[in-house]
Amino acid sequence: MKFFIDTAEVEEIRAAHELGLVDGVTTNPSLIAKSGRDFREVIIEITEIVDGPISAEVIALDAEGMLAEGRELAKINKNIVIKVPMTTEGLKATKQFTAEGIKTNVTLIFSPLQALLAAKAGATYVSPFVGRLDDISHDGMDGVDQIRTIFDNYGYETEIIVASIRNPLHVLNSGLIGADICTIPYSVMTQLAKHPLTDAGIEKFLADWEKTK
Ligand code: E4P
């Protein structure tokens, strides 16, 4: 399974990259706003750290506007993936981006049928948001499972990026379902490495080692 990091904080990307855990990066307007930095500047800096897909989201709501923004973003680097919202205008833009050889990530997907439409439009990636569904008492992972089945039934090559990940269990279940990618916040990525028995084991080994002196 590929790991993308879901952040616009360059230092987090650098730290996770040093751990060898970053296959790509996803950003969104909220994450860019949180970073307090210029959008293009952040995206350019990320391209200098990670040699993998980097999602940059358009703001326009109409297909023409999305295409204009996306074409400019795509010029920044060959790894830029244009993130478009899952709307009918977003689907139109996705079809056109695909025809132009520009990769897309259709975002804000909350149902398997939305994912099917995005795949039919030629999306490179779909991003089902699991955490936001869990937040309203729907099992986000159920939808991912159904998307996996539909894509496999018809041989769609669109990759599934499990997004809106809140905890390690989301990552575990994504792996069991066979999702292609998880886009993970830095805090959850570091949580994945931790286990209390690992810490206790190290402590015990060191205590025993001291006794040999
Ligand atoms: C995905 O690409 C989004 O940036 C992200 O996963 C959204 O997560 P949130 O629901 O925690 O904001």
How many A from CA of 105 to the centre of ligand 1?
13
- Choose which residue among 2, 3, 4, 6 to substitute to test ligand 1 binding: the one with the highest number of ligand atoms within 8 A of its C-beta: 6
Q: Is 83 a catalytic residue?
A: yes
**Nearest Cα to 1, choosing from 136, 132, 128, 160?**
160
The pLDDT value recorded for residue 33 is 96
Residue with the smallest CA separation from ligand 1 atom 8 is: 164
Q: Which segments of the chain have a pLDDT < 50? A: none
Report pLDDT for 198.
98
Distance 44 CA to ligand 1 centre (A): 20
- Could you tell me if residue 38 is left (phi over 0), alpha (psi between -120 and 50 degrees) or otherwise beta? beta
**Tell me, what's the pLDDT at 19?**
96
For the complex shown, is ipTM > 0.95?
yes
Spacing, Cα 130 to ligand 1 middle (Å): 9
Q: What per-residue confidence (pLDDT) applies to 187?
A: 97
Atom of ligand 1 nearest to the CA of 31: 4
* Structure-token pair, residue 119: 């795949």
Phi, psi of 107 (to 5 degrees): -110, 170
DSSP state of 62: S
Lining ligand 1 with CB less than 6 A are: 6, 26, 28, 107, 127, 129, 131-132, 163-164, 183
Distance 126 CA to ligand 1 centre (A): 12
What confidence score (pLDDT) does residue 39 get? 97
**How distant, in Å, are the alpha carbons of 6, 10, 91, 144 from that of 27?**
6, 11, 20, 20
Find the angle CA(189)-CA(192)-CA(197) to the nearest 5 degrees: 150
User: May I ask the CATH architecture of the domain 2-211?
Assistant: Alpha-Beta Barrel (3.20)
List the catalytic residue out of 83, 92, 194, 213: 83
Answer whether 166's CB lies under 8 Å from 153's CB.
no
